[in-house]
Amino acid sequence: MSEANGTILLKLSGHLIDLLCEDDEGVSKEALETLFAEAGIDLSQKSYSQQIPETDHDLFLHEGVESRNGVLAIIISGEDWMPVMQTLVKYGKEIEAYGSINHEHGITEFYALNAEGESYFELIDFEASFNTEREEEIIADWLGLIPDEIKIIYPEVFEDNQEEDD
């Protein structure tokens, strides 16, 4: 598995936060399936059936989780989280999801799904020079969809990007 890292933020009900925090090493496939169901995504539909990749031991690895004010932060470890976040922000509803993931092969993905149902997914591929000329615009658009409340709860997730945006 290729290396990827970043932090994702999920604004969820308490029972989902508890479920996603059950394992100290990762999030189980079953917990992610519950998250998708809560987001209104029916994984039995063919269009979604490939969205949760197979992982070793059906565990989506992380380097830590923390919950503040109903917002769960997951410090992800591994590229398996990338299609999970893409699916959540493209097709989800009734939850909020934010974050960015940096892949070792020069790709950075930005995700936002806010309470108004506005969805954002964009990537910059620094190795292939894809969207590199739009980096500031992409970051500004992404940050613009993230509520101030979320930025205040987890300022450390956005500090580097906000400096670039100022």
Establish how many alpha carbons lie within 13 A of residue 27's alpha carbon, considering only the half-sphere containing its beta carbon: 31
For residue 100, what are the domain limits? 4-165
User: How many domains does the chain fold into?
Assistant: 1
DSSP state of 74: E
Q: State residue 47's pLDDT score.
A: 62
* Local mean pLDDT, 10-residue blocks, the chain (166 residues): 90 93 92 93 70 74 95 94 93 94 96 95 95 96 97 92 54
For residue 36, list its beta bridge partners.
none
